[in-house]
Structures are given as C-alpha cells and as structure tokens.
Amino acid sequence: MSPAQETFRRQVLHPLKLRLYLLRRLPLAWLAGLRLVALTPEAASVTIRYKYLTQNPFRSIYFAALAMAAELASGIQAMLHTQGGGPVAMLVVGLQAEFTKKAVGLITFTCPDGAAIAAAVADSRATGEGRTVVGTSTGRDAAGDVVAVFRVTWSFKAKGVVAMLLSAAKVSVFAVENPFNAK
C-alpha cells in the first residue's frame, strides 16, 4: 500500500473524520448512519442499522438505504485505489440487487473485490482508457445470514495531461514520472 493510500485509509477509518466527510459530501449516508468498520486493499465493510430514517413501511431497512451501504463498501475501495498516482474519474454505471431476507437490526456489507478494482484503476492509468469492474457487496445480518447482494459496476478513467500522453504514446505508466506530484 502506498503512503497516500495508507493516509487515506487512516483518515476514513477515524470515526469523526469519516462522519464529517459524509456530512459534507454524502449527507444522505450521514443521515442514514453508515459506518465504515474495515478497510484493507482487499476488502471493505460498511454497516447500516435499522432505525427511523432507514425504515420502510414493512418494518425493515428501505432498499435504497441498503443500496447506499453496498455502494459505499465498493466505492471506498475504489477511492482507496485511486489515491496516489494520477487522477482517476470514477462513476457507478450499473447496479443489480438480490434480496433474500428481511433486513432488520445491524446489516454489514462487505466487498472483497479490492484486487479487481486495483487492477482496473492501474490498467486505466497505464492505457489512458476507461475500464469497468463489478464490485459485489454482500449484506449480512447479526446472525450471519445473507440479506442482500448488490453488484455495483464501476467505471474508471484516468484523466489529465499524463493520461492523454499515455493514451497517445501507449506507454506504461511506470515509465513516465508525473511532474505534477513533484514536491
């Protein structure tokens, strides 16, 4: 893990810093009470609790609140892997969901697709072309039963002058130093 990734990881795992980030950039996630409980280069886990703001009329967690937690589990991985190196644009371009059990209590979404996300980001940086990857977030209740499975399709595209140069020259990103990161 690069120093930039380690710094990002420490910051988002700090409860107060994450809550302030969510309040500023993802206010609905802040209102829903999403919590990041684990983040490694390989996997991330996010929790959501059944409460007044996340409920539906059927006394379970609203599907959109579950989708928000599942998307954050894969999205925080994507954010981790875009730290350091040149800038990379990321966007959700697809979403599939399967619901298998009523979601009540504390639900934990885990996305173990960090390696695939890292490869897509690295490939986009190396070629300057867009790449997509599917991050699968599985939600489990306190008993360990699967509540829902979300497949979030992410698109990554390196941007900026370096990406354009790499795309035109078809050179490896490791052969080009980024002059914008000079200190």
Residues comprising the chain, all counted: 183
pLDDT for residue 160 = 72
pLDDT for residue 10 = 94
pLDDT for residue 155 = 96
* Nearest CA among 182, 92, 178, 100 for reference residue 143: 100
Residue 159: band (very low, low, confident or very high) from pLDDT cuts 50, 70, 90: confident
Query: CB within 8 A of 128, min separation 6: which ones?
Result: 158, 163, 164, 165, 166, 167, 168
What is the percent of the chain with per-residue pLDDT over 70, rounded to a whole number? Answer: 87
Residue 37 CA to residue 8 CA, distance in Å, equals 14
At 141, list the tokens: 């209740």
pLDDT for residue 172 = 47
Query: pLDDT averaged over the chain?
Result: 89
pLDDT for residue 180 = 44
The tens digit of pLDDT for each residue in 130-157 reads 999 999 999 999 999 999 999 999 999 9
Phi/psi for 140 (5° steps) reads -125, 145
Q: What average pLDDT does the segment 166-173 reach?
A: 49
At 168, list the tokens: 């035109």
Q: What average pLDDT does the segment 41-58 reach?
A: 96
Q: Which amino acid, residue 2?
A: S
The tens digit of pLDDT for each residue in 97-128 reads 999 999 999 999 999 999 999 999 999 999 99
CA atoms within 13 A on the CB side of 93: 13
Q: What average pLDDT does the segment 3-27 reach?
A: 93
